[in-house]
Structure 1
Amino acid sequence: MTHYEGARAAVIGGSIGGLTTALLLRDLGFSVEVFERTPTALDGRGGGIVLQPDTVRWFTERSTQRLETLSTATEYVQYLDHDNGIIHRDRRRWTYTSWGTFYRALLADFGTDHYHLGEFACGVAQDGDHATVRFVSGHRAEVELVIFADGITSIGRSLLDPDARFDYSGYVGWRGTVPEHELTETTRALLGDAISYSVVPHSHITLYPIPGERGTGRQDRLMNYVWYRNVPPGGELAEMLIDKRGFTGTVSLHPGLVQDRYVDEMRETAARLLAPAAAEVVTATEHPYIQVVSDVRSNRMADGRVALVGDAAAAARPHAAAGTAKAAADAWALADALTAADGDIPAALRKWEPAQLELSARLLERVIAMGERSQSHNTWTPGDPSLRFGLYGPDR
């Protein structure tokens, strides 16, 4: 019997970070309930994920599911010129998944009996032995531990650090996927076994293959991309973020909701500037969508029996491909701290917080510098090892 048998935990946010945390807490003996604010299933959301060691640790150490059934792989990192010529190529293996594939696998391990959709947390109160989470539905959850894993727009962050603010980077990420089998043979051959970059003035695009809804085979894979493009703050950005229904987005616009005139301009610019293979993928995307690239970090990750993990604590620009890895690292470190604390949850959170705050700060510092090199200074140099992926540093 562990020190946490019979203890209750509420995880606010049912995405990848929340599910990873919930699974680890359950393994420690907690009775875990996950509360997701979205009223419908999350399956199918999002694009590609670069798999780093922390991200996959649940599947390599605890799950009975095999990681190779959830992922694709490439053997090279390459940079393309304006004629599809390869100007730099390294042999470097990376593996990838899609958000939906990874989410479904984690949810399959956790189950749905204690996974609650449509529950929006709005407040939390603590006494010495318990914390009570309040929801807009009127529901209350009295528990011994509360984890906010509710993403970039975290309610938990606003409660623990009301002064934390979004700092817009000056650019957005255009994202999308295209079935790989729909691309020309030339493009499939060029992009199929590499993570590929096309660098142009004040911008770059990254492309790699991810699993499709039907599997990981070549006929099932999707070519995923993110293309970083500068958009000045103020009126121009605000107008772009008004969707087709007339609603204003804050951190993203979902597929199918971006105004047609912006999609048309994006496709025209891709055809003019990007390597032809990259341009083919972008222009073939049926419903591209927009991610607003911003920085936000809480100066606190723990307070009594309440903690923040993943993007709820710090949302980093995507350049290090470390967002899901950071969430998983927070969760595993928390599990270790709880194990060492002999049942003293507040003490565990106090011990856990400093290292995770430092990790967040280092990651944000690095990805901000990477973004500035691409979008401002034009010093994103093909093959520069300092630009490689990694949560703890390049290739780390």
Structure 2
Amino acid sequence: MTDRGRAIVVGGSFAGLTAGLLLREQGFDVDIFERTPAYLDGRGGGIVLQPDTVRWIAERPHSFGVDDVSIGSSVMRYLGDDNKIVYEEPAAWRFSSWTTMYRVLFDDFGAERYHLGEYAVGVDQDADGVELRFTSGRTERADLLVFADGISSVGRRRLQPRVQPRYAGYIGWRGCVPEREVTRETADLINDALAYALIDSSHICMYAIPGADGSLATGNRQFNYIWYRNVAEGPALDEMTTDLRGFTAPVSVHPGQVQHRFVNEMRADAAKVLPPAAAELIARTPEPYIQIVLDIAVRNMAFGRIALIGDAAFAARPHAAAGTAKAAADAWSLASSLASSPDVPSALAAWEPGRLALGNDLLSRVAEMGARSQFTNSWDPADPALHFGLYGPDR
């Protein structure tokens, strides 16, 4: 055992891997437990690379840099009828895929202490440590436990059972299309841009990401999108988010599991109301999937020797493109606090207030952004308040 004792991280996604890497640097003996039986795949989904998202690559020795795992934009571009450019301004963002970034972190952490197929189900702690129990019958004990297990967090349910996700009133249709499968006009409009289209009570966001094999070469990349559409809470939402097996999805309906009639209706609507470039991306997506847009906020993130980070604590709507950035920032901040104090409970208590403030601020900001696009129709392309950023617009 190392000099800081043992740390367990529940959840092997972006937050969990970042936490595992940083805690290992702090001298903890770290194990990550992931509930899925196979290594994770982000279904090709795109992410915007904010400074915290790529901090591990930027600040630790690697044989590659951020530019080697991402694609850059030069403009933010709004499309209107007939693909007319209705607004444009300089915008230097970098985009990658969830899978590409996961592979970077996983390769650095390694497979030896990354345990698949272990579903955490119970937790207790005493003055000296934390006990974690799994559905397999396995029991583990540690000096520090970090729940980084996402929107459906077991840790949150056990520690703050009254906290429930709040539906935002709309869903996101998501998908990726190989660049080589779209027309030249569509590719030219999106390939160097953060591209949007606004329609009544709805909008779509589009950008290029690495290909399924990680390729950054023009022609071998993918175009990623999310189209936000209002769906009333209740029977309408329940029906749409019931998958082909008959199970109602609480967070997302995975590719290949969305009822075909809803996919067909969505494609038909896209052809009627979206610019041709956006409609083409949707038409050429073999298996679009649904993300249910939710708000989740906890009152606490530190519980003695236990911490909640990432979406296990605050899950924010995607409008600020800050999900992975916040997950990474939570982990970096936690490691910094632990470096300042040898006592785990004291370090977590000192770490918590700043994270709660950031999480609540982010939720408030993205709720306002969502309201402007989906309900009040007051989204203004020239308003910098609508730009990406974890800490605020362009920050």
1:41 counterpart residue number? 39
Matched-pair contact (CA < 8 Å) for 2:16–2:32: yes
Per-residue CA deviation, residues 305-334 of structure 1 (Å, 9 max, x unaligned), is: 000000000100000000000011100110
How many aligned positions are there?
393
Instruction: Give the secondary structure class of the aligned counterpart of 1:208.
Output: strand
Per-residue CA deviation, residues 272-312 of structure 1 (Å, 9 max, x unaligned), is: 10111111111111100000001111111010000000000
The alpha carbon displacement at 1:383 in A equals: 2.1
Moved more, 378-387 or 368-377: 378-387
TM-score w.r.t. the length of structure 2 is: 0.98
**Structure-1 separation of matches of 2:377 and 2:104:** 39
Matched-pair contact (CA < 8 Å) for 1:160–1:301: no
Give the unaligned 5+ runs of structure 2.
none
1:339 counterpart residue number? 339
Which aligned pairs between 1:255-334 and structure 2 lie closer than 5 A? 255-334=255-334
The alpha carbon displacement at 1:191 in A equals: 1.1
Matched-pair contact (CA < 8 Å) for 1:317–1:367: yes
Give the unaligned 5+ runs of structure 1.
none
Aligned-residue identity in percent: 54
TM-score w.r.t. the length of structure 1 is: 0.98
Pairwise CA RMSD: 1.1
Matched-pair contact (CA < 8 Å) for 1:12–1:35: yes
The alpha carbon displacement at 1:85 in A equals: 1.1
1:244 counterpart residue number? 244
The alpha carbon displacement at 1:39 in A equals: 1.0
Q: In structure 2, which of residues 53, 57, 60 is the aligned counterpart of residue 59 of structure 1?
A: 57
Q: In structure 2, which of residues 15, 18, 23 is the aligned counterpart of residue 17 of structure 1?
A: 15
**Structure-2 separation of matches of 1:217 and 1:142:** 46
2:357 counterpart residue number? 358
**Residue type of the partner of 1:368?**
A
The alpha carbon displacement at 1:241 in A equals: 1.0
**Residue type of the partner of 1:387?**
L
**Structure-1 separation of matches of 2:232 and 2:146:** 35
**Structure-2 separation of matches of 1:327 and 1:274:** 33
**Structure-1 separation of matches of 2:61 and 2:87:** 38
The alpha carbon displacement at 1:216 in A equals: 1.2
Instruction: Give the secondary structure class of the aligned counterpart of 2:164.
Output: coil
Instruction: Give the secondary structure class of the aligned counterpart of 1:93.
Output: coil
Matched-pair contact (CA < 8 Å) for 2:91–2:194: no
The alpha carbon displacement at 1:20 in A equals: 0.5
Q: 1:277 to 1:103 in 2, by over 3 A?
A: same
Instruction: Give the secondary structure class of the aligned counterpart of 2:360.
Output: helix
2:27 counterpart residue number? 29
Instruction: Give the secondary structure class of the aligned counterpart of 1:315.
Output: coil
2:83 counterpart residue number? 84
2:231 counterpart residue number? 231
Matched-pair contact (CA < 8 Å) for 2:31–2:113: yes
The alpha carbon displacement at 1:5 in A equals: 2.0
**Residue type of the partner of 2:366?**
V
The alpha carbon displacement at 1:140 in A equals: 1.0
1:71 counterpart residue number? 70
Instruction: Give the secondary structure class of the aligned counterpart of 1:272.
Output: helix
**Structure-2 separation of matches of 1:172 and 1:53:** 27
**Structure-1 separation of matches of 2:3 and 2:22:** 13
2:376 counterpart residue number? 377
Per-residue CA deviation, residues 202-234 of structure 1 (Å, 9 max, x unaligned), is: 000000000112211112210000000000000
**Structure-2 separation of matches of 1:147 and 1:139:** 18
**Structure-1 separation of matches of 2:66 and 2:380:** 33
**Structure-1 separation of matches of 2:243 and 2:272:** 26
